[in-house]
Structure 1
Amino acid sequence: MTSYRHHPDRIAALVQDDRVHRDLYLSEEIFALEQERLFANTWVFLGHASQVPEAGDFVTQEVAGRPLLMVRQPDGAVHVMYNRCAHKGTQLVTDESGNTGRFFRCPYHAWTYRLDGAPLGLPLKNGYEGTQLKACESGQGLSVVKHVKVYRDFVFVRLADTGPAFEDYFGEVLGAIDNMVDRSPEGKLTVGGGVLRNIVHCNWKMYLENINDTVHPMSTHESATKAAEALWEGHAPSDPKPMAMEQILPFGSGYEFFDKMGGRVFANGHSVLGVNFSIHSNYAQLPEYEAAMQAAHGAERAADILQRSPQNSVLYPNLSVKGSPQAIRVIRPLAADRTLIEAWSFRAAGAPALLFERAMSYNRLVFSPMSVVAHDDVHLFESIQQGLRAGGNEWVSLHRNFDAAELAQSTITTNGTNELLMRNQFRAWAKAMAPEAAA
């Protein structure tokens, strides 16, 4: 079989104007190239600064298959380093999170490092006198990730030395983070309630596409919405709904609702679904909270923040943001057919506890592995992963509402059921996977 690595023209042929080849989901070689090119050369969401509130607090994570450490410094800054001792390569810490104290100590040979990665000490120091240790990489301490951006406490990294600047890469879609953070009258969010994790046996792109798929809820989640409708039958439209009902009933809103909610795509694969309204637009109002928002932001800005409730905003390639409820999903690829999905909830400083309850409720209801919604999606994702191995048709259709004029534009506003939002992701994928981008 011809290698994709050595025949870049084959990679380019995988993404066509209105369809993509199944190898994007099935090929382990393609997955390895994605780690090297796409995830190393673009800006990837790593974590949130509230996860490391005190000096010495750390979080471990992998990006592009490389183990990283996010560490709070004594001066309050957040640094990111590669999680490997400069001596033999041992991971300095293997816990998901914790506090290392005033320094890192390698568990293998007890080499120590300051919180910023600078070398601190090592056993048998005399044995290195007259050697080249201090002149080589091992003597310089931990390797630091040079390109780190903390945007309103959301921490992003770009592992490659070359690549787009942060603001150039994300552009207008950063407004999705602004909208979420500004829902706090104090402009401050903290991660709360732990993180829901689900390993799905499918390709990561399959999950990311689905975030912009507004046609599937009526069929995929029919049983969940029908059950909710049966339970709510007999109530007047004006009756206050329990939180779970408020969140699940809109999933059955119908094709016209989802089409009219609208969507917008941007360069580099980013998108906003629900630019007009969404299933989150009609949550119960909280007058005291709205008053606090007006006091903090002014009446006009407060109204703009609270009325803007997109369905999903995708910061390509691995972050999906929901301003209301205040929740995010993080997509962490593990293999061509295995993806870790994380669902996070946020507390908004100065806001009522009900907002945090909404985030927690929504994540449990929709994204938990045991939810009444996620199991439908997971079953179908894993079914697609298997079905794509079938013979015959090797292509995945993305034809709905295709218009050749879209190929010449980077920012487009469209209807909510247009598969343009998915095509836009694959065009960004093809651009990042091109040999000149990798170079």
Structure 2
Amino acid sequence: MAMYRDHPDRIRALVQEDRVHRDLYLSEELFVLEQEHFFANTWTYLGHASQVPNAGDYLAQDIAGRPLLMVRQADGGIKVLFNRCAHKGTQLVSDRCGNTGKFFRCPYHAWTYKLDGSPLAIPIKSGYEGTRLKDCESGQGMTALTHVAVYRDFVFVRLADRGPAFEDYFGEALAAIDNLVDRSPEGKLTLAGGAMRNIIHCNWKMYLENINDTVHPLSTHESATRAANALWEGHAPDEPKPMAMEQILPFGAGYEFFDQMGGRVLPHGHSVLGTRFSIHSNYARLADYEEAMRAAHGETRASEILQRSPQNAVLFPSLSVKGSPLAIRVIRPLAANRTLVEAWAFRAAGAPDLLFERALGYNRLVFSPMSVVAHDDVHLFESIQKGLAAAGNEWVSLHRGHRPGEFDDAPAQDTNGTNELLMRNQFRAWAEFMTLRMGAAA
């Protein structure tokens, strides 16, 4: 029996002001509805333009169960197509990425399409004379997505025909991408070094809310920070640190540090953690790089970029951005209890190689499934997924820092760094976009 389909009130009741129901993590039915509604109504990160630098380059990526292709066009533009032949539905490419040349060719019956998806040629063309092929969808070629936004080379899609416009949906949150891109004196980033992929047996929302959880590092990562402190013991506080030490030691900062770093919630689930400072604020300074930034952006803007090093900026629901280091995480839901997380590093044009090495090093140190940090988180995520299935309490607490009517003050507001307001904000947006026009055609 379907408990939630066509029952938006039941779905909204799962998200209360200060807690959420465990079904948000466990229910396969809700996950199916998320694929159908939530991920269709929101803007999802698809990929980066640097992944398709040349005409004919493509990136294949599933979004909410839909196989998509991001394709570089002959005129330099980017188009997003459904990865399916208009004839029988065969996926036109099976590799994750590559170059298709000047056209796509179906491996099943050899129908071909131009890079923009329009039909090019059909074998035994005479067999279709006098038929309705040209008048139906199959004769129009590959289906292109209507709602695609390329913002400073970050490519986002919205699957539903109706929904918020790109700028309206992200608003102030786009400043996190600006901060990332503008760390290049030339304003140009390139994804490099490959992706670090990790499939975790937990619900995607669990991982996403943890990105805004500053209370867990002190206990969850205690063994890693204790070992790092033991290795660094005896060194002067101002002594230059090896990169790994520079990146791991701040994880052991106390609750006061994380509380005072500050946070900001934005409409539609977006947020910034570390509005005052973060664990990334005290990386070694690079005089030549800072001079290049001042020359490129001016004194005021360069200072603003370099001094702003948030812990995490979340562009809900699929992207987490770290301006320093130059890294992103992409959250790809696979099932109610399975999530793919990709960690990527950027090379900034006009910046020293050390910045790229810092991004690669951080991803290996913190996000690799074999790292001294990520294995702690993965173990706990999977433990939570199992624990929530136990009988008894059906609710997950989000009470820390809650006050009644907190969202009545303003759609965007600042808070302390340990307040679970940042998580409550995500679930509030989940309920909004999950039930948006539920029961009506998308």
Which whole-Å CA distance do the structure 2 matches of 1:258 and 1:143 have between them?
A: 47
Alignment partners' CA distance in 2, 1:181 and 1:62: 25
Q: Which residue matches 2:429?
A: 428
Q: Does the 8 A contact of 2:327 with 2:359 survive in 1? A: yes
Map of 2:72 onto structure 1: 72
Partner AA of 2:216 in structure 1: H
Contact 1:406 1:412 in 2 (8 A): no
Cα shift at 1:405: 3.2
DSSP-derived class of the 1:192 partner = strand
Q: State whether residues 150 and 156 of structure 2, in contact with CA within 8 Å, keep that contact through their aligned partners in structure 1.
A: yes
In 1, the alpha carbon distance for the partners of 2:439 and 2:43 equals 14
Partner Cα separation in structure 2 for residue 435 and residue 100 of structure 1 = 38
2:210 aligned partner: 210
**Paired position in structure 2 for 1:221:** 221
**SS, match of residue 187 in structure 1:** coil
Q: CA deviation at 1:434?
A: 1.5
Shift of residue 407 of structure 1? Answer: 2.5
Query: How far does residue 437 in structure 1 lie from its aligned partner after superposition?
Result: 5.5
Unaligned runs of 5+ in 2: none
1:308-334 deviation per Cα after TM superposition (whole angstroms, max 9, x unaligned): 000000000010000000000000000
Taking structure 2 as the reference length, what is the TM-score of the superposition? 0.98
Q: Structure 1 length normalisation: TM-score?
A: 0.99
Alignment-derived partner of residue 19 in structure 1: 19
After superposition, give the CA deviation of every residue in 1:266-294 in whole Å (9 maximum; x if it has no partner).
11000000000000000000000000000
State the match for 2:96 in structure 1: 96
- 1:206-285 counterparts in 2 under 5 A? 206-285=206-285
Question: How far apart are residue 133 of structure 1 and its match?
Answer: 0.2
Q: Structure 1 residues 438, 225: closer, same or farther in 2, change over 3 A?
A: farther
Shift of residue 157, structure 1, vs aligned partner? 0.3
Q: Deviations over 1:111-140 (max 9, x none)?
A: 000000010001110000000000000000
**AA partner of residue 204 (structure 1):** W
> Is the 8 Å Cα contact of residues 37 and 438 (structure 1) preserved in structure 2?
no
Letter in 2 for 1:71: V
SS across alignment from 1:436:
coil
1:326 counterpart residue number:
326
Q: Is the 8 A contact 2:191 2:345 kept in 1?
A: yes
Does the CA-based 8 Å contact 1:59-1:70 persist in structure 2? yes
Structure 2: which amino acid aligns with 1:284?
A
What residue in structure 2 maps to residue 135 of structure 1? 135
Percent identity over the alignment? 77
Change (3 A) 1:438 1:245: farther
Query: Residue by residue, what CA displacement relative to the aligned partner does 1:73-99 show, whole Å, maximum 9, x if unpaired?
Result: 000001000000000000000100000
* Counterpart position of 1:413: 414
**Amino acid in structure 2 at the alignment position of 1:133:** L
What 5-or-longer segments of structure 1 have no aligned partner? none
**Once the two structures are superposed, what CA deviation does each residue of 1:132-157 show, in whole Å capped at 9, x if it has no partner?**
00000000000000110000000000
Q: Deviations over 1:398-423 (max 9, x none)?
A: 00000113121311100000000000
Aligned to 1:396: 396
Equivalent position of 1:117 in the other structure = 117
Pairwise mapping of residues 307-326 of structure 1 onto structure 2 (< 5 A)?
Answer: 307-326=307-326
Deviation (angstroms), 1:17: 0.5
Q: What residue number does 1:342 align with?
A: 342
Paired amino acid for 1:36: E
Q: Which residue of 1 aligns with 2:179?
A: 179
Q: Which residue of 2 aligns with 1:40?
A: 40
